[in-house]
Amino acid sequence: MRLLDALEVTNRDKRLKVSRAILYLVQGVFGECDCELDVLYWSRHNTFLLYEMGTFTALLELLSMEIDNNQACSSAVRKPAISLADSTELRVLLNNMYLMVETIRLETEDEKTEWRSVRETFRTELSTQVYNGEPFALLLFTMVTKFCSMNAPHFPMKKVLLLLWKTLLFTLGGFEDLQAMKVKTRETLCLPPLPENSIKVVRSMRAASPPASAMELMEQQQQQQRRGRSSRKPLVKQDSLDTYNERDPFKNDEARDDEEDNDDADSGIEGEVGPLDRDVIIQPPPPPPPLRPPSERVSFPRGLPWAPKVREKDIEHFLETSRNKFIGFTLGNDIDTLVGLPRPIHESVKTLKQHKYISIAEVQIKKEDELQQCPMTLGEEVEESPIEILYQGMLSNLSQYVIALLKLLLAAAPTSKAKTDSINILADVLPEEMPITVLQSMKLGIDVNRHKEIIVKAISGLLLLLLKHFKLNHIYQFEYVSQHLVFANCIPLILKFFNQNIMSYISAKNSVCFLDFPHCVVHELPELTAESLEAGDNNQFCWRNLFSCINLLRILNKLTKWKHSRTMMLVVFKSAPILKRSLKVKQAIMQLYVLKLLKIQTKYLGRQWRKSNMKTMSAIYQKVRHRLNDDWAYGNDIDARPWDFQAEECALRESIEKFNSRRYDKNQNTDFTPVDNCLQSVLGQRMELPEDFHFSYEMWLEREVFSQPIQWEELLQTE
C-alpha cells in the first residue's frame, strides 16, 4: 500500500524508483531466493496479491500518462539517435504489466481456488472496460500506430507487441479454446460434428514416424543390389526417381534457384529432403534397412490423416455438369433430383453427400443474405463477447493497425535491408554508448537479432490469433481484416520473409542460456567470452523462429484459401520455388502448411512442373486433406488471368461493407431505422421549445387541435 501511494507523487524519479520496486516483487524477489522454483513461486504469489490491491489499474494510469507525454515524444523526434535511456519509464511499466498478464493467464495444477476467480475477473476487465471503457488491447494498438507514424519513436515496440499478443491470448483464448468454441458453435447451429480434431491430428502427425513408401523401398533395394554387385556394371542406370529428376527436388527450378541451392549445399544444407519425414531438423540419413524376406508383408498406413470434404456448391456444380451432358438442361441448385442420370452418377452423388461439410462460415453468409433482404422482419441479437467488443473498437482504425503491424514485420524480417528512412525498431535495445570491444559488439549483435526474432514471433502470433477468432465470430469480420492485409501487401511480404536461407534462420542461435531469467539472478554467471557467445545454447534449432515460420505459413493459407485472385498472386510472385525450399526444414507441421500452399497453385504451374516434382505431388496427396471434386493434380486452367478474378474481390468488399453498415453504423439515416411508437416514451421526451412558445400556446392549441376535425378513417388506413 505504501508503494501504491508513492506511485501518485509528482516527482518523476521517485515514481520510477517505486515502479522498479514493484517490478522486483513481480519478478519474485530473486535476491532472497536460492533456486529458480522459489523465484517462480513468489513471483506468482506476489502478482496475484498486487492485482488484488489494484496495482494494474495504477500502472495503467501511469502508462496512459507516459503515452501522452508530449515533451518526451517531441524530444525523441528531435534526437538523431534513440537509445535505451529514452524509454526507461515505459519499459519498466510494460515489464510490470506483461508479467502480471502472463502470470495470471497461466493456470497451474496446484493453483489456489480463489486465484481462479481472480483470473476471470482480470480477463473480463482486460477485454471490456480497462481503458476508457474499451479493451486494453486498443491502447496497445494505439501505441503501435503512434510509433509507426514517427510521432513517438522511443516507444519500446518489442515489449508493446509482446504485451499485446499475450493480452489477446488471455482475453480471447488460445487455439485449444478456439477448438472448443468451434465445437460448441456447431452444436448451436445444429451442424454435424467435426470429422476430426485438427489439433490432435497435427500432433499425431508430428509424433508419428514416417512410413516407407513403395518408391523408397524400391530405391533401397536397388541401392543394396548395387553394393552387392560392385564388381559388375549395374543393369539399371537410373531408378524411377531419376526419371523425373527427383534426386534433387530443387534442381528443376529456374537458374536463380539453382544458384541459391548450390549455396545452401556449400553451407552444409542437405539437398535431398523427403517432405514426409517427421524429424524436427535434418539429420544424417540412416543406413538402409535389410531386405525383408519375400514372405513378410510390407505394412502401409491405413487411411489418410484427414477426412475428405466436399462443399455443397461442389455437388451443385457436379450435377449441373452431369445434367448438361446426359439430359441437356439443368435444375438450378437442386441436389436431390437424379432422374435421367446414369447409375454411376447416382453413386458419385451418394459418395459426395456422405462427405459433405457445411462450415460455420457458410451458415453465417446465408443468414447475412437473409438479413439484408428482410431487414424489417428479421432481427439479430449480437452477443457482446470479447472478440465482438474488440472488433467494434478496432473498426474505425483497422487499416492503420494492420499497416503498422506489417511495417514492423517488414523492419524485423531478416531479408530487409537497412534504410535511413525506415522505422527504428531497436530503440529499446541499443545502449547510449556503442560497444568498443569485440565481445561487446558480439553481445549487442546477439541482442539485436534476438530482438527482431521476438518481434516477428509476437506479430505472427497475434495476427494468426485475430484471424482465427474473427473467422469463428463472423466470416465477414475475418474477410475485412484479410482484405486489409492483402491490400497492404501481406502476401509478398511473407514470401519475402521466406526467400532466405530458411535452414539458417531455423537453426539460428541468438540466445545465451545462462543469461536467461531467472537463471541469471540465482546462479553465478560464468565469464562471458567470444567462444561462449558463439556457442549459444545447446539446441540444434530455435523454437522461436520455427514457431514464427509456421504462423506466417498459416496466415498465408488463411488469406489465399478459396480466393482465386490471391492464389494467382502466389503464382505471379513465383512462390513455388520459395515454398519448396522451405521443405528442407524436416518438421511435420511446417511441411504440412507448405504443401497446402503448393497444392492450391499446382494447376496453374503447368504439366511440366508437376511432372518434374512428382515427389512433392505425392507428399501433397499423402498429407493434405482431399476435396473430392478438386482437380489440383491434373487440371490445366490455361485461361486463368489475374484480372479475371478482380470481380470476386469487389463483390466480397461490397458484402463486407453491407455487413458493417447494417451491424455497426448506428447513425445511418434510412427508411429502415426503427421508429418509437410508444405513447409513454414519446410524450415523456423533453422537447426544446422556443422561448416565446408559452405566449402563443393557447392560440396554437385552438387552431391546430380544437378547430380541426379528426379523420378517424385516415388514421386507421395503412400505406
| pLDDT of residue 269 exceeding 90 | no
**Rounded mean pLDDT of 376-403?**
90
**Rounded mean pLDDT of 582-595?**
93
How far is 89 from 257, CA to CA, in rounded Å? Answer: 48
Banded model confidence at residue 560, pLDDT cuts 50, 70, 90: very high
Please report the pLDDT score of residue 688 as a whole number: 79
Banded model confidence at residue 641, pLDDT cuts 50, 70, 90: low
How far is 50 from 559, CA to CA, in rounded Å? Answer: 42
Contacts 24+ apart (CB under 8 A), 373-378: 375/662, 375/672, 376/672
Please report the pLDDT score of residue 220 as a whole number: 52
Whole-prediction pTM: 0.81
Q: What is the DSSP letter of 132?
A: T
* Torsion angle, alpha carbons of 195, 199, 202, 203, to 10: -130
Half-sphere exposure of 241 (CA within 13 A, CB side): 20
Please report the pLDDT score of residue 477 as a whole number: 97
**Rounded mean pLDDT of 312-324?**
90
How far is 564 from 561, CA to CA, in rounded Å? Answer: 8
Banded model confidence at residue 162, pLDDT cuts 50, 70, 90: very high
Please report the pLDDT score of residue 292 as a whole number: 47
Selected residue with higher pLDDT from 645 and 16: 16
Please report the pLDDT score of residue 265 as a whole number: 36
Mean pLDDT of the chain: 82
Handedness of CA 317, 319, 323, 329 (dihedral sign): negative
CB atoms within 10 A of CB 578: 23
Banded model confidence at residue 222, pLDDT cuts 50, 70, 90: low
Selected residue with higher pLDDT from 595 and 242: 595
Banded model confidence at residue 302, pLDDT cuts 50, 70, 90: low
Q: Which range among 236-240, 289-293, 374-378, 607-611 shows the weakest confidence by mean pLDDT?
A: 236-240
Banded model confidence at residue 244, pLDDT cuts 50, 70, 90: very low
* Chain-centre distance for alpha carbon 150: 26
What Å distances lie between residue 695 and 683, 689, 702, 704, CA to CA? 21, 12, 13, 16
Domain boundaries in the chain? 313-356
Contacts 24+ apart (CB under 8 A), 601-610: 601/567, 601/570, 601/571, 601/575, 601/576, 602/632, 602/633, 603/631, 603/632, 603/633, 603/634, 603/635, 603/636, 603/637, 604/567, 604/568, 604/571, 604/637, 604/640, 605/571, 605/576, 606/636, 607/636, 609/576
How far is 389 from 134, CA to CA, in rounded Å? Answer: 8
pLDDT above 70 covers a percentage of the chain that reads 81
Q: Which range among 168-172, 288-292, 445-449, 626-630 shows the weakest confidence by mean pLDDT?
A: 288-292
Please report the pLDDT score of residue 634 as a whole number: 78
